[in-house]
Amino acid sequence: MSSSSARRRIVGAAIGNVAELYDFFLYGLSAPVLAVHFFPKSNPTAALLGTFAVYAVAFLVRPLGGLLFGHLTDRRGRIRVLVLTVLLMGAGTMITGLLPAYTTIGIAAPILLVLCRLAQGLSLGGEASGSYSFTIESAPDGKRARSVNLVACFAFLPAALAGLFILVLQLLMGKAAYIDWGWRIPFIVGGLIAVAGVWLRRRLDDPEEYTEAAREAKVGNPLAQAVRTHLKSIVIVTLLIAIQAVSAYVILGYMYTFLVNTAKLSNTSALLTNAAAIVTLAVLLPIFSIAVDRIGRKPMLFAGAVWLVLAAYPAFKLAASGSFAGAYFGQLLIAIGSALTASACFVTVLELFPTAVRGAGHAISYNLGNALFGGTAPLIAEALISGFGSPIAPAFYVLLIAALGIVVIAFTPETKNVRLRDSVGGKDESATPAPEPLTN
């Protein structure tokens, strides 16, 4: 495959990710206003906890989406599934923007909100595995981490774009009007963006790595084979994802609410500092990935986990200060640790599975890890603050997950030189005999 063809595919996957992830992250940034419209107003704390519980629902259903779409990704091709996932995500997002409020239809409002969030969770369950498998299989030799992290960069940026879009709307129409009805606009726009994502993805083709592996390896049921022959990799990936998921979703799904409700920062300052931290995280991913390709995956994984252990407490201490600078630099500390970890994690969790079952194996473990640790991070953080009465309480959860992650990393194989069609995590019954590892 020519380098120009590889770039076209990677850019296409990255831009398609913008449409998919804008829709998914929008919910976390809209949590305070969704709590107002979809839950009883008599208890604001319970309403916010309910909103974050619905946020977590999408992650809990992600493994089911991974099972469904991961199987289809290996059996029917990467692109077909990527078109389906962006369609489902767009539908769930647009319908959320059109739902009646609790004051209009009562308990049916949060139930319908849950259904929309379920659709988003199912979609993302297939999206991550499909897009990242497509990307690593299209990547030039020696640049797998850089290619995957370029797409990951575009997966994080939509959260910042959504935050800035919300800020502009609030400035143009006023906060009261935005809370009353303007909050619906970003969700409806998200559905329209998804249409553009479908158009972009339909113009792409499956990578040769996948099509050749599909011809060579006669896999009857990719899901069953992934569990049977790569169970160790599934367990490692599920636990490895915890560090990246908790640190990332604290920023992506929780810090805005924390800054407004706990640190008592103004809405504008909270949105700006959160967007700036997310952009910083996104930009650092392709930068750190250069080192991941050169020195290996495990050194960067260790660096990120140790950073989070040391930085979690001062990060929340700064963020809780109530100042603009404290909010940004507190989030920055978490963003650096998250980027260090994620730059290696995103590529490692793909390389632990061979091409023939990469979609299914990655989908099971990646989505299970995100469901257990990423989706619950905002809910646990808010519950810790409520239970202990301290704004610093979530820091100890981040610290604990990072410390446990160091143990998991120690048992994780180095995958820098593994051939994509092979596996370092199990014995692939369908693979051809493994040659000498390529330098990558």
**CATH number for the domain including 44?**
1.20.1250.20
The answer to whether residue 439 scores a pLDDT higher than 60 is no
What is the pLDDT confidence band of residue 15, given thresholds at 50, 70 and 90?
low
- Of the candidates 117, 118, 127, the residue with the CA atom closest to the CA atom of residue 81: 127
What is the distance, to the nearest Å, from the Cα of residue 192 to the centroid of all Cα atoms in its chain? 21
Q: For the chain, how many structural domains are there in total?
A: 1
On whether residue 423 sits in a domain, the answer given is no
The answer to whether residue 7 scores a pLDDT higher than 80 is no
The answer to whether residue 267 scores a pLDDT higher than 90 is no
Q: Pick the range with the lowest mean pLDDT from 142-146, 204-208, 258-262, 398-402.
A: 204-208
Mean pLDDT of 279-291: 95
| pLDDT at residue number 220 | 63
| pLDDT at residue number 243 | 93
375 touches 56 (CB < 8 A)? yes
On whether residue 438 sits in a domain, the answer given is no
Mean pLDDT of 206-231: 72
Mean pLDDT of the chain: 85
| pLDDT at residue number 218 | 59
What are 167-174's contacts with CB under 8 Å, separation 24+? 167/268, 167/271, 167/272, 167/275, 170/267, 170/268, 171/268
On whether residue 94 sits in a domain, the answer given is yes
Calpha distance 423→427 (Å, rounded): 7
On whether residue 417 sits in a domain, the answer given is no
pLDDT digits (tens, 9 = 90+) for 340-383: 999 999 999 999 998 888 888 888 898 889 888 987 888 899 89
Q: Kindly tell me the sign of the dihedral angle through the C-alpha atoms of 215, 216, 220, 226.
A: negative
Mean pLDDT of 75-91: 83
pTM: 0.78
On whether residue 432 sits in a domain, the answer given is no
Domain interval for residue 225: 3-410
What CA–CA distances, in Å, run from 270 to 5, 163, 324, 342? 41, 10, 8, 24
On whether residue 396 sits in a domain, the answer given is yes
Which position has the higher pLDDT, 60 or 395?
A: 395
On whether residue 426 sits in a domain, the answer given is no
On whether residue 70 sits in a domain, the answer given is yes
| pLDDT at residue number 121 | 85
Mean pLDDT of 65-83: 79
